[in-house]
Structure 1
Amino acid sequence: MRFLKLFLLCISVFAAAEGFAQSSAELKRRRDKLSDELEQLNREYQKTASSKKVTIRQLNILKAKINLREEKINTINSEIRNLDSQISENTNSVNNLQEQLDKLRKEYAGMVLFAYHNKSAYNKLMFVFASKDFNQAYKRLKYLQQFATYRQRQAEYIQGTQKDLNIKIVQLDRTKREKSTLLSDEKKERESLGKEKDNQAQVVVKLSKQQGYLKRQQRDLQKKIAKTNREISSAIRREIAEARRKAEAEERARLAAAEKARAAAAAAAEKSDKPAPSTGPKTPVKTTAAKTNSEVLNSTPEAARLSNDFLGNRGSLPWPVAQGHITQGFGTYYIDGIKTESTGVDIATGAGATVRAVFSGEVSNVANVSGTYLVIIRHGEYFTAYSNLRSVSVSKGQKVGIKQTLGTVATDSATGETSVHFDLYKGQNPVNPKIWLAPD
C-alpha cells in the first residue's frame, strides 16, 4: 500500500508538472510576441523622434508602448505565479520523497540487521528443521526465499526513490533560477515603463504648445470618422431595405399564387356542381412588414447559413491585416478632453500592408471617404467594414472569400500612422470586433 501511495504521488506530480509546462509555454509565447511588438514600436518611435517637431504619432506610439509594456509585466507576473506554484509543488514533492526514502532506509536497515543475525547456513537450517511438521518447514523455507526477494526489491525501491528525489531537486533549483531571471526582467520592464511614462509627459507638454493645430487636426479626424460611420449606416440601411423589398415581392408572389390556386379550385367546383374543396383553417402568417431586421436579413437560406457560419467563428476570425496591434479600442474614449465614440478598432500595421476579408461574403459597398476608401462586406445579418484604405481591389456586388485581399492600408501624411479601422455590425448595431477576432 505504501508503494502504491508513492507511485500515485509521482504520477500526480508529473501530471501537475505537465500542466504547468503547457501554461508556462503559452505565457512565454505571449511574452515573446509582446517583446517583438515592443521592438517594432521602438523602431517606429526612433524614426519619429529623429524629427525636431513633436507629433501626435509620437504620443500614440508611446501610449501603445506603455500599454504593451504593462501587458508584458502582467504576463511576467503570471509566469512568476506559475513558478511559485511549481516551486511549492516541487518542495512538497522533495519533502514527501525524502520521508519515503527515510522510511525505506529504516526498514531496509532492519532487514539487514535481521539478515546479519541469521547469516550462517546453519542458522537457516536450524530455523527450518525446528519446525513442528513438514508443512511448517515448507512455509519457513518459502519465508526465507520471499524475505531475500523482498530485501532486493526494497533496495531497488530505495534506488528509484533516490533517483526521483535527485530529479526533483534539480527541477526545483532550475525553477528557482527561472524565477530569479523573471524577477530581474520584471524590474527592467518597470524601469522602461517609468521612462516611457516620463517621455509621454514630456511629449504632452510639447504638444500642448501646438494645441490649436492639434485640435484642428482632431476635428478633421472626427469629421472623417463621422462621415465613415454615416456611410456604413447608410449602406446597412440600404441592404436591409433591399432585403425587405425582395421579401415583400416574394410574399406578394406567394399570395398571388395561392389566390390563383383557390380561384381555379372554385371554378372547377362550380363546373362540377360540387362544393369547393376546403383548404383548412388559415394559420396566421407574419408579414414581411412585421418582421425584424434580423429576420429580413436572414430571409433566404443562403443568408441564414452564412449568418450561422459567421456566428460560429466568433473568437476565431482572422485579423484584417497579417501583422498589427490595436491602438484604439471599441467604445468611449477621450483625446485632449474631446469625447469620442469608437464603433470599431484601429489596428496599426506596416506601410503598404494588405487588408483582407475576415470572412466570406459579398461586397456591399465601396466608397471614397475624404481621400481614403471604405469597403463594407455583408455576411448574412452581419457586416464588416474596413476603412482608411489607400487602394481597393474589389467592387460592389463581388463575392469574396476568407482572407481575400481587399486593398492596401493608407498612411496618414500628417502623423505618419499606418492603420486600418475595422468595424463589425450585427444588423445596424456595432459590436466589439476584438472579441470576434482570434487571439493575437
Structure 2
Amino acid sequence: MKSRIYALFILAALFSSNILLGQSDKQKKLEAQRQQILREMKQFRALLFDKEKEEKSEITLIEDLNYKVNKRKNLIRITNEQANLLTREINANQKEITSLREQLKELKEDYAAMVVKSYKSKSEQSKVMFLLSSSNFKQAYKRLQYIRQYANYQKEQGEAIKAKTQELQELNLQLSKQKKDKQKLIEENRIAKRELEKELKERETLMASIKADMSKFAAQIKKKKQEADRLDREINRLIREAIAASNKKAGKKTSTGKFVLTPESKKLASNFEANKGKLGWPVSRGVIKGKFGKRRSLTDASVTNNYKSIQIATETNAEVKAVFNGEVSEILIVKNGNPAVLIRHGNYLTIYMNLSKVYVKKGDKVSTSQVIGQVFTNKIRGETLLGFRINKNNQVLNPESWLAKH
C-alpha cells in the first residue's frame, strides 16, 4: 500500500513539473515576442528621428501614428499574457508547495513508523535468527530478499524526503522571482498604457483635421492607389513575360504560369525555399510599416486595398540589397514613377520597388547582400519607403514570413 502511495506521489510530481516546464516555454516565447516589438518600436523611433526636420504630410503622420498605436497595443496584449501566465504559474507553484508540504509530512511519518518497526524487529529477533528459522533454503533466500528490499525501500524513502525538501526550497525561490517579474511587467504595462493614451489622442486630433478637408486627402489616397495598382499590373506583366521567355528558351511551351526549371535553377529555387524565415532584409535598418494583404484605408474605412507587397520604412539614402543569389530578370521603369528591380531565384522572384538609383542591369548575376540600388525618399510625404514583394511563379507570397526576425 505504502509503495503504491509512493509511486503515485512520484507520478504526480513528474506531471506537475511537466506542466510548469510547458508554461515556462510559453513564457519564453512571449518574452521573445515582446522583445521583438520593443526592438521594432526603437528602430521606428530612430528612423522617425532621422526625418524629424523634414516636413511630413498628414497622411504620413497618421500612418506613423497608426504604426505606433498598433505596436503599442500588441506590446500591452503580450505583456498582459505574460502577467496572466505568471499568475497561473504562481498559483500552480503555491498549490505545488502546499501539496509538497503535505507529502513531506506523510513521507516523514511513514519513515518514522518504519524506523520504529525496524528497531522493534531488531530487538525482538535478529536478522540472523530470522534467516535461521527458515524451514528450507528457498524460504531463507526469500527472507534475505525481503530484508534487502525493505532496506532499499527505507533508503529510497529517505532520499525522497531529501529530494522533495530541496524541490520545495527551489519552488519557494522560483515563486519569489515570479512575483517580482510580474510586478515589473505590471509597471511596464502602466507606462505603455499611458503612452498609448497620448498616441490615441494625437491620432484622434489628426484624424479630425483630415476629415475636415476630406476631399483634398481623398484625391491623394486615390492617386496613391492608382499608382500602386499600375505598378502591380506592370510587375505582373513582366513576370508573365519572363516565364514565357524562359520556357521558350528551354524549348517548352506552357501556359500554366510556371517556370520550367533546369537542374541548376531547380537547385537555386530549392535553396531559396529552404531559407524561408531566414532571408536577410533588403535594407540594413527598417521596419514594416505597410503589411501584405487586404487592409482598410486609415482615412476612409469604406475603402479596402489588397497589397501585393510590404512597405519597409527605412533611413534616407538607404542602400537596397539582394536577399538571395539570383539573376536580374528585369529593370522596370514606370512613367512618372520610380524604378523597380526583379531578381529571379529559380521559380521565385524578389521585387524591389521605389528606388532612386539602380546599380545593376538585366541579366546580371547577383549574390546575397549585394547592393543593387538606393531607396527613393519622398520629400513631399517625408518618408523613405521600400516596396518589397516575393513571387513563386505568378503566385504572390507574403514577404514578411520569408524575412528573418531582426
**Alignment RMSD:** 3.7
2: CA distance, partners of 1:153 / 1:431: 60
CA shift in 2, pair 1:397/1:143, >3 Å:
closer
Structure 2 residue runs of 5 or longer lacking an equivalent are none
**CA offset at residue 62 of structure 1?**
0.6
Per the alignment, residue 329 of structure 1 pairs with: 291
1:293 to 246, 252, 257: 257
Answer whether contact 1:54 1:203 (CA < 8 A) is retained. no
Map Cα deviations across residues 116-146 of structure 1 (whole Å, 9 max, x no partner): 8x5xxxx956644996994369999999999
1: CA distance, partners of 2:316 / 2:175: 47
Q: Does 1:417 align with 2:380?
A: no
Q: Does 1:383 align with 2:330?
A: no
Map Cα deviations across residues 345-375 of structure 1 (whole Å, 9 max, x no partner): 1111223333222222210112344353211
Q: Does 1:59 align with 2:62?
A: yes
Answer whether contact 1:298 1:380 (CA < 8 A) is retained. no
Farther off after superposition, 343-352 or 103-112: 103-112
2: CA distance, partners of 1:392 / 1:411: 14
1: CA distance, partners of 2:244 / 2:122: 103
CA shift in 2, pair 1:146/1:411, >3 Å:
same
Q: Does 1:235 align with 2:233?
A: no
- The alignment partner of 1:293 has SS state of coil
> How does 1:192-203 map onto structure 2 within 5 Å?
192-203=195-206
Answer whether contact 1:48 1:58 (CA < 8 A) is retained. no
Answer whether contact 2:247 2:260 (CA < 8 A) is retained. no
CA shift in 2, pair 1:439/1:39, >3 Å:
closer
Answer whether contact 2:247 2:254 (CA < 8 A) is retained. no
Per the alignment, residue 33 of structure 1 pairs with: 36
Q: Does 1:167 align with 2:167?
A: no
Map Cα deviations across residues 210-235 of structure 1 (whole Å, 9 max, x no partner): 54554454344334323422331232
Per the alignment, residue 318 of structure 1 pairs with: 280
Answer whether contact 1:49 1:58 (CA < 8 A) is retained. no
CA shift in 2, pair 1:195/1:165, >3 Å:
same
Per the alignment, residue 185 of structure 1 pairs with: 188
Farther off after superposition, 205-214 or 48-57: 48-57
2:224 to 213, 221, 224: 221
CA shift in 2, pair 1:305/1:20, >3 Å:
same
Q: Does 1:432 align with 2:398?
A: yes
2: CA distance, partners of 1:52 / 1:358: 32
- The alignment partner of 2:164 has SS state of helix
CA shift in 2, pair 1:103/1:242, >3 Å:
same
2: CA distance, partners of 1:292 / 1:206: 50
1:346 to 285, 293, 311: 311
Map Cα deviations across residues 243-298 of structure 1 (whole Å, 9 max, x no partner): 24324xx4xxxxxxxxxxxxxxxxxxxxxxxxxxxxxxxxxxxxx4455231xx21
Per the alignment, residue 358 of structure 1 pairs with: 323
1: CA distance, partners of 2:231 / 2:127: 105
- The alignment partner of 2:310 has SS state of strand
**CA offset at residue 200 of structure 1?**
0.6
- The alignment partner of 2:64 has SS state of helix
Per the alignment, residue 135 of structure 1 pairs with: 133
Q: Greater RCO between the two (CA within 8 Å, min separation 6)?
A: 2
Answer whether contact 2:349 2:392 (CA < 8 A) is retained. yes
1: CA distance, partners of 2:213 / 2:262: 55
Return the letter of the residue paired with 1:293.
Answer: G
2: CA distance, partners of 1:65 / 1:100: 51
CA shift in 2, pair 1:125/1:173, >3 Å:
closer
Answer whether contact 1:384 1:423 (CA < 8 A) is retained. yes
CA shift in 2, pair 1:372/1:152, >3 Å:
same
Per the alignment, residue 78 of structure 2 pairs with: 75
Map Cα deviations across residues 289-334 of structure 1 (whole Å, 9 max, x no partner): 455231xx21533333333443444444333224322211223332
CA shift in 2, pair 1:65/1:363, >3 Å:
same
Q: What is the TM-score when the length of structure 2 is the normalising length?
A: 0.81
Farther off after superposition, 89-98 or 393-402: 89-98
Q: What is the TM-score when the length of structure 1 is the normalising length?
A: 0.76
Q: Does 1:394 align with 2:397?
A: no
1:245 to 244, 248, 254: 248
CA shift in 2, pair 1:129/1:236, >3 Å:
closer
1: CA distance, partners of 2:157 / 2:242: 80
Return the letter of the residue paired with 2:68.
Answer: K
Farther off after superposition, 131-140 or 422-431: 131-140
Farther off after superposition, 388-397 or 58-67: 388-397
**CA offset at residue 79 of structure 1?**
1.9
Tell me the matched-pair count.
394
2: CA distance, partners of 1:175 / 1:341: 44
- The alignment partner of 1:65 has SS state of helix
Return the letter of the residue paired with 1:353.
Answer: A
CA shift in 2, pair 1:242/1:27, >3 Å:
same
